[in-house]
Structure 1
């Protein structure tokens, strides 16, 4: 794994939909040439309709728009919703668009879970926030606590090149290349953007070919080199055995380790899985805080007040071993201090710490389930390779045309 660090960036933290959506919609509305969006979830709700409206506006005045959604995360977009976009010139791409089976979604693994927006190759957004109303506090007690960043500066060129590389097989298919045999996705020529701030930043991604564990390795490197403090807020926490071991070792050597996890999860199994790990973590000195105000959806971390990450990757088997993910790594004391301050606010006001006396008793059943969990974590990455890969990977809606991009073409991007 070779990270490309870019100096001279300005990175602004955005918390929840209240801060994120106005920034994104305003930036899209000001686009001059191009808008590229990848999102796991797009719903036909008030937020999705706002995105729909601004994309129609810019597409009708000649801005090229590519919108990629996931077939599992965005399963219910109506023909009217899609048709209006494509009639305006938006190119809509659906990753793994499998139909329901007996009314159920069964394409559970290897999802396109990234959340990236790049505008004119000059402004970018990346994080964990989807285009859905449940990221707004006004949606009620089930609204999600989450984070993203707005980025200006040289690292935007790295994000821009990445999203174009992902789209290359689609363009190849439209040009008839699929009929002639699959080709490696061409690289986009790097663009030099002027410095906009003082932050160093790097894009790190996870795929199912060459970059299978890059995000996990970046987390582990930061944990192993931590000297004073680690703060991780992560919605779905059931990480690999080695990452857990690194956290426990960091706490034992005197690093102040804090985990902010779900206390009011959107799926009950999330808390059940995480709680299997609490005893061993707390025993070694890790501070485990359950966020209890509403469902936590964030995927962020701060180490030693210098290193931070914001992105789409959870610390669970799906994100670390199966899904397509993207995180931004950030080295900037000002940004790290702001993220750390906001996480401390959660700890102080909206979390309960799972101290020894607050943990459930260690019954024989819990010992057995914990042992099974640890063995699962140790071996899951190798088991994941046996899970299904194929299917119709991308269906693109280009005007009135539908173009299916097979797995072999898409995998050129991951090599």
Structure 2
């Protein structure tokens, strides 16, 4: 999910594209094979993996993992919203810190603005510090404005830690595309615009150590501000009640179809919420503060509107998708991180260069750098089939990124001769970031195929060498592309009989694109961003 203003987004696209590492069209040497490309990736490990494609399963996996912690919990998210999911997560971390578990949390200042800024909700983070946790905010706004003035580089404002990561006892982890909010973790039947996303559950000591090292390197970097304990009123009860309400909701029996049908009005849901509020508040041995009571009431109200989340802890654990397979944990620091480490860009490019049969890509934001275009163009010339799934103006939450995509996609189809391009047509963001090469090498993580991930933000990606895991990931992507309109559309350009693109004025002629299926208002909103792209074209 993007949280930037149009101006800052455009500036970031321009600045990141202007980075020499991204603008230089030279590619790394082509590996001898795809396996060789994988073997040259850092931090080898073996792990047991589970695919988390269902939103509710993804939340339950996080809850179970943190509850199992005995020694340490490390949590790093771009977005933690102050809703039922975010506040209950803070409450669960508070429980663990109270119990003596080492808890470390880092959130991004821009993605988690409502909880991390001094004039907004930082007091809830301070309650977690009061419980004994270490809490840091990445690139806080009050610092990065000064950095821009000092350096003249707008990336100082924009650089984010985009990781989505939970690590427990340095051996179990959840990583992928989901942040912490109802948009990412709700059943679509309860929240019709809930996102389509992907995570992976990772079990293994070596993988856990690699992720812990990646987490710690930015946690203790110069751009992470440590949150101090507040000397004011102790309001930890609010967080603890949020966790208690979530636990009760997850452990109570799931609703039957008849019970679900009866919860179809706000009056019925509010009545249920009062029962849960009373249940958790009644467990206190003292009168709660107004602030604590208000949080418990709001969490209960939100949970009552997510009826299919109730009883989710009784669900079976998702099956193992890979057992004892080779994995590599790839991470990047932001452009203003402690180092310029980037273990993702070159390894992704090398994998594309080494592919022999197929490259399947799923990315919510799809604006390729020149190096990315060249790598896919050369793969297509070798006969590699390229399949891309991304968002349309209807499903996307980023008009500026869509403006860049809409200007670029006809060129991509013209130059990458084997490419097929599919877009989501629903009013529901597709947020998963997945790649599958030759049915054996998979990438799952926080990394978007756009210049922000390539050159500005900190990211983390899990690379997996496993036919079983790749088959699972590929089937989810290809299955989505096979859905019919209006769920999914294929963008097409006109071609001659020999397959060469039809050009008009030097540009490919569009056969089917956004104008043929998107609401005119959605197209107009995207086109409003085009002047910004034109203004910044010399930099891009």
TM-score range, shorter chain: 0.7 to 0.9
Taking the aligned partners of 2:420 and 2:83, their CA distance within structure 1 comes to: 38
Counterpart selection for 1:143 from 151, 174, 194: 194
Aligned twin of 2:327:
201
Say which SS state the counterpart of residue 62 (structure 1) adopts. coil
Aligned twin of 2:481:
347
Q: Is it true that 1:94 corresponds to 2:131 in the alignment? A: no
Aligned twin of 1:119:
168
Counterpart selection for 2:445 from 311, 316, 324: 311
Counterpart selection for 1:30 from 68, 82, 87: 68
Aligned twin of 1:71:
109
Asked if the contact 1:242/1:378 (under 8 Å) is kept, the reply is no
Change (3 A) 1:300 1:167: same
- Structure 1 window deviating more from structure 2 (17-26 vs 136-145): it is 136-145
Say which SS state the counterpart of residue 111 (structure 1) adopts. coil
Q: Is it true that 1:54 corresponds to 2:62 in the alignment? A: no
Aligned twin of 2:303:
none
Aligned twin of 1:401:
none
Structure 1 residue 212 displacement after superposition? 5.0
Specify which structure has the higher proportion of strand.
1
> CA offsets, 1:218-260, max 9 Å, x none?
1111111111111000111112101111112222321110010
Taking the aligned partners of 1:68 and 1:311, their CA distance within structure 2 comes to: 18
Taking the aligned partners of 2:384 and 2:217, their CA distance within structure 1 comes to: 40
Change (3 A) 1:110 1:16: farther
Taking the aligned partners of 1:249 and 1:310, their CA distance within structure 2 comes to: 23
Aligned twin of 2:262:
none
Larger Rg: 2
> CA offsets, 1:348-371, max 9 Å, x none?
12421112259xx9776978x99x
Structure 1 residue 269 displacement after superposition? 2.4
TM score, norm. by length of structure 1: 0.76
Say which SS state the counterpart of residue 18 (structure 1) adopts. helix
- Structure 1 window deviating more from structure 2 (90-99 vs 314-323): it is 90-99
Structure 1 residue 127 displacement after superposition? 0.9
Change (3 A) 1:259 1:378: farther
Specify which structure has the higher proportion of helix.
2
Structure 1 residue 83 displacement after superposition? 3.2
Structure 1 residue 39 displacement after superposition? 0.5
TM score, norm. by length of structure 2: 0.59
Aligned twin of 1:131:
180
Aligned twin of 1:188:
none
Change (3 A) 1:142 1:87: same
Count of matched residue positions in the alignment of Structure 1 and Structure 2? 350
> CA offsets, 1:328-358, max 9 Å, x none?
1111111111101111121112421112259
Aligned twin of 1:335:
469
Aligned twin of 2:210:
158
Aligned twin of 1:180:
none
Taking the aligned partners of 1:80 and 1:148, their CA distance within structure 2 comes to: 30
Aligned twin of 1:271:
402
Instruction: Show structure 2 runs of 5+ residues with no match.
Output: 1-27, 29-39, 116-120, 146-154, 227-321, 496-501, 509-526
Asked if the contact 1:124/1:151 (under 8 Å) is kept, the reply is yes
RMSD (Å) for aligned C-alpha atoms: 3.3
Structure 1 residue 147 displacement after superposition? 0.8
Aligned twin of 1:256:
385
Asked if the contact 1:35/1:120 (under 8 Å) is kept, the reply is yes
Asked if the contact 2:422/2:488 (under 8 Å) is kept, the reply is yes
Say which SS state the counterpart of residue 297 (structure 1) adopts. coil
Taking the aligned partners of 1:93 and 1:198, their CA distance within structure 2 comes to: 34
Instruction: Show structure 1 runs of 5+ residues with no match.
Output: 175-195, 381-415
